[in-house]
Structure 1
Amino acid sequence: MSTPLSALAHGTSYAGPLAAWADTCAQRRTKADDPQRRALRFAFYGRVSTEDHQDPATSRAWQLLQAQSLIAGHGRIVAEFFDIGHSRTLPWARRPEAAALLAAMAGPDRDFDAIVIGSSERAFHGSQFSVMVPLFEHYGIAVWIPELGGAADPEIAGHEELMVLLGILAKREIARTRIRVRTAMTVQTREQGRYLGGRPPYGYRLVDAGPHPNRAWARRGVRLQRLDLDPESAPIVRWIFAQRLAGHSIARITRGLNDAAIPCPSAADPERNAHRSGEGWTLTTVRSVLANPRYTGRQVWNRQRTDHELIDPGNTTLGHRDVMRWNTPDEWVISTAPAHPALVSEPDFVAVQSLRAAREGVPGRVHLLAGLLRCGLCGRLMDSCWSHDRPAYRCRHGRSSATGPRPDGPRNMYLREDHILPHLPALWIRLTNTDHPQSRPLRGQSLPTTEEIAARLRAAGLTLTYDPADRTLTADAPSRERIAIG
């Protein structure tokens, strides 16, 4: 007579009716859970990058075929989730299809019992699998992995360790690729002066430079490109540098370009600059032209870098965000020989970088409220100016020195300082008599002078908003104190 399974589980040789009944229940449950007896419904997940000319259709096909081979005889795939062009470094919650799979998994009416992965190295990166395991267990979802030959079971020694190892290998693959690509681009720039892609700088155009040195790419018809002078925009770049070397400010150069109705870079090449408005030249555009070292004829790479910053330091599972930052010139990679025609000589380019507009104050002209007054019409800080031999403030409502006034915009607003200063003590008394905590540091033993009031407002980070309609000043404080000045 055989010993019931329940007796073995409890470490006893008891073979009575109760143990036999328990053993029968266990056998029934085992048969019900047997994948051979109950066909499972699977949700397929795969991912492909769009780099290196990968074909999403082909990648999805082989991952799906691998998943179907894994679950053959155990069930069928009833739902598909496939991410295209999203890095494996992103957590699942930040990949569109993976996030949709997680949402479907948490739904009360999900139509699948398990998840099958097309390729673990494409689905998981680093320790992502270990982070996701508790979530899969919470919803009772088994994850089938090709590299494991079946479902991952955290209770089986080695399963989770192997998945972590595969994630580390995927992370190592990305790191090795990044190092290899950066090293290759450094050599191609420094030794070969090769054009490495991207929008050509304003003043240049792309021309053919022969077949690609990679034979496989050359057979596909890929050819090298290089920069050459654009006959329409190259003279404009030369003029910009000449004007700057002559001592003209960036604002004056920008005004001259707009007054002459010269198309800005995004208007001159709208197909490659579809993300820009093309309305006109701005100070930033002219400044970027003057700061571009490729106008010297040298190929320059690594002017920008991508930093990976945590989205939330308190929750590292959210992953990182990519932040573009400018590198300092000592980090640039510069070609050892000229790579394309120059629009400015190297000495002139270096001279332009050291030019700064003179900002010398006029003796006797002091603005006590500089940086403290806001316009009640547009909310901008008012500019300091001089009106009728007195300090004053004005607002041009967004008009910069590179653009003219809007026909439908409000007129420039002016406010003299001597119309404000006599009313500052009364406004100060109202501010310091409020009970709000932000006003407590402003309180003093005696009434300060107007100079001290301005300094304390500035130290407290408060501003005063001027409303030209009713000629009142309102303090940017919780009490919103207001006082009439005329």
Structure 2
Amino acid sequence: MAALHDAAGPISGGPLTSSALLCDWARESPGPRVSGLSPAGLRFAFYGRMSTEDHQDPATSKAWQLMGAQALVSGHGRIVAEFFDTGHSRTVPWARRPEAAALLVAMADPEREFDAVVIGSSERAFYGNQFASMAPLFEHYGVQVWVPELGGAVDPKVADQEELMILLGILSKREIARARIRTRAAMTVQARDQGRYLGGRPPYGYRLVDAGPHPNRALARRGVCAQRLAVHPECGPIVSWIFAQRLAGHSMARITRALNDAHIPCPAAADTARNPHRTGRRWVLQSVRAILANPRYTGRQVWNRQRTDHDLINPDNTSLGHRDVMRWNTPVDWIISARPAHPPLVSEAGFIAVQQIRPRRQPAPGRTYRLAGLLCCGVCGRRMESHWVHQNAGYRCRHGHTSATRPDPARTRNAYVREDQVLPHLPALHLRLTGRISTAGPASPPAGPASPPTLEQAIAHLRDQEITLVYDHAARTLTADTPRAERITIG
């Protein structure tokens, strides 16, 4: 059989030669073509981030991250777009960081102006498993990710590089955990053993004064002083009076009204610089309650009254990350200074006595409210509160008025409805809600015998379906907040 020839001569050799030829060809073949690649090289989008605006200079932070990114891409292309998040933690997923989210939107655009993303600092960009969860997205859109630790683009197909990115995410998470643990330990010692003022606005009734050179020598050399709480000459006596009135048996609402009647400036009005978000018009019940519950008025430094919990935004989609939720700690978790740290405005015994004063809980024995939480005011939209009067359960709405302020003669009158006037009509409403009686006309004959619903079934249906009844005081009607707005008249 004649040998086969090509233009350069006969093709010869066994399988080994053919295999080597194929391998050489595969190694020398060009890689995938990057769309839009110009002769000048790759077009990069820079991404950087910083979290604490009060403790860092945004311009400096962005500059050094951008400088590192420019050094990384030097000779490979140029940076044509910049995305920099300020004031957002690394723990927040990219989709919830404004600039990172904008980068993701731009990345999905087929006509985007960049070919790759260069990261200024891996620890600031990725936290935990964020890169692993986003790598498929970068690959889907054909966008390379360049990081300083690799000196170039991340190739997710290379096991070592994938492991390195996982390690960087773990180190980023560890950095946060270490900082949190060390900070909490230091603040515990400073509050408990040293009675140090740890920042934040001073409680109403106190003001900040210098307490000598700062214990940090570097700060002391710059003239920074430590601070402590001192009694405010005008507001301090008000706090002592509030505690005295509560110990005398007066309700918090009565104390609040007395403060407003005496035209005493409320905490927001007394310190407008720290309360620009509050109106400062008058005292409210919450302000008096907060003062009576603050243990720092005993002269002790108290820290860790609140904690920050990181709750999942959606347990069914953990990629959305967490949200920070502030919750109150119980007194057993408070950090209390071993010695008094500032002048007291109430004795420790007096403070404890105030905490043991509790209003009578409702309902009282023998009182039940079967429709509690189901009625809403048609005037102001507030949920109607349970109210017992003349040996009958009822529901009222005061349209935001409380006993802490004197009633305004021009305000809308209270809305009130008795429970026994509503209950007889609920079975008929249940039939309308379930479609067994049409709201447009006479009901069609039932297909078979059906027993009328009981009152318990009607109430249970409202709660199970989370249906609220809107009460119109003038028309004496209850309207369900459903698409068909079923309505009953209670006479």
Structure 2 residue aligned with 1:384: 387
1:482 aligned to 2:488?
yes
Q: How far apart are residue 325 of structure 1 and its match?
A: 0.2
What TM-score do the two structures reach when normalised by structure 2?
Answer: 0.83
Name the CA shift for 1:343/1:268 in 2 (closer, same or farther; >3 Å). same
1:303/1:331 contact within 8 Å kept: yes
Instruction: Give the match's secondary structure for 1:147.
Output: coil
Matches within 5 A, 1:166-315: 166-315=168-317
1:335 aligned to 2:337?
yes
1:13 aligned to 2:18?
yes
Aligned length: 463
Q: How far apart are residue 138 of structure 1 and its match?
A: 0.8
Structure 2 residue aligned with 1:469: 474
Q: Distance in 2 between matches of 1:123 and 1:360?
A: 52
Stretch moving more, 164-173 or 346-355: 164-173
CA displacement 1:181-236 (0-9 Å, x = unmatched)? 00000000001000000010000000011121112222333221100000111011
CA displacement 1:153-198 (0-9 Å, x = unmatched)? 1122301101111111111111111110000000000010000000
| Letter in structure 2 aligned against 1:152 | V
Matches within 5 A, 1:96-111: 96-111=98-113
Task: Name which of 414, 428, 431 aligns with 1:430.
Answer: 428
Name the CA shift for 1:215/1:52 in 2 (closer, same or farther; >3 Å). farther
1:463/1:476 contact within 8 Å kept: yes
Name the CA shift for 1:475/1:90 in 2 (closer, same or farther; >3 Å). closer
Q: How far apart are residue 108 of structure 1 and its match?
A: 2.2
1:394/1:412 contact within 8 Å kept: yes
2:367/2:393 contact within 8 Å kept: yes
Q: How far apart are residue 356 of structure 1 and its match?
A: 1.6
1:374/1:466 contact within 8 Å kept: yes
1:144/1:151 contact within 8 Å kept: yes
2:371/2:459 contact within 8 Å kept: no
Structure 2 residue aligned with 1:325: 327
Please give the root-mean-square deviation of Cα atoms over the aligned residues, in Å. Answer: 3.7
Q: Distance in 1 between matches of 2:334 and 2:198?
A: 14
Structure 2 residue aligned with 1:67: 69
| Letter in structure 2 aligned against 1:480 | E
Structure 2 residue aligned with 1:134: 136
2:229/2:342 contact within 8 Å kept: yes
Matches within 5 A, 1:113-124: 113-124=115-126
What TM-score do the two structures reach when normalised by structure 1?
Answer: 0.84
Q: Distance in 2 between matches of 1:328 and 1:122?
A: 35
2:477/2:487 contact within 8 Å kept: no
Instruction: Give the match's secondary structure for 1:397.
Output: coil
Name the CA shift for 1:154/1:473 in 2 (closer, same or farther; >3 Å). closer
Name the CA shift for 1:92/1:369 in 2 (closer, same or farther; >3 Å). closer
Q: Distance in 1 between matches of 2:252 and 2:271?
A: 22
Percent identical across equivalent pairs? 63
Q: Distance in 1 between matches of 2:26 and 2:385?
A: 86
Name the CA shift for 1:290/1:146 in 2 (closer, same or farther; >3 Å). same
Instruction: Give the match's secondary structure for 1:53.
Output: coil
Q: Distance in 2 between matches of 1:228 and 1:158?
A: 59
Q: Distance in 2 between matches of 1:377 and 1:352?
A: 37
| Letter in structure 2 aligned against 1:73 | G
Q: How far apart are residue 68 of structure 1 and its match?
A: 1.4
1:36/1:73 contact within 8 Å kept: no
| Letter in structure 1 aligned against 2:428 | R
Gaps of 5+ in 1: none
